[in-house]
Amino acid sequence: MPKFTWDDIVCVAANSRTQLRSPKQAWIVGVFEGEKRPGSYFERFPPGVIYSVEFEDGSSTEIHEDDLELWPE
């Protein structure tokens, strides 16, 4: 079960394993679970849920669920 869903506002977690260190808001625009992760691109991620996120400037990326947290309101 995914921790986040479409349109949730998130940011890169402070303890993220990724190179991303963005305090910016990002919106969930895609959710890819387990065997539903299409193509070899997703093989570079550890098992689990992968999200496509879009930042305010229009840039986007994919990131593992463990590397995201809800945007503090």
> Which position has the token pair 């691109």?
41
Instruction: Give the contacts of 61 (CB within 8 A, at least 6 positions apart).
Output: 20, 52, 53
Domain span at residue 34? 9-70
- Residue 23 within a domain: yes
- Residue 1 within a domain: no
- Residue 20 within a domain: yes
> How is residue 5 annotated by DSSP?
-
Instruction: Give the contacts of 39 (CB within 8 A, at least 6 positions apart).
Output: none
- Residue 2 within a domain: no
Name the domain count of the chain. 1
| pLDDT tens, position by position, 49-73 | 999 999 989 999 999 999 999 998 7
Mean predicted confidence (pLDDT) in 17-43: 82
- pLDDT value at position 68? 94
Residue 21 pLDDT class (50, 70, 90 cuts): low
Does 41 have pLDDT greater than 80?
yes
Mean predicted confidence (pLDDT) in 16-37: 82
Mean predicted confidence (pLDDT) in 29-47: 86
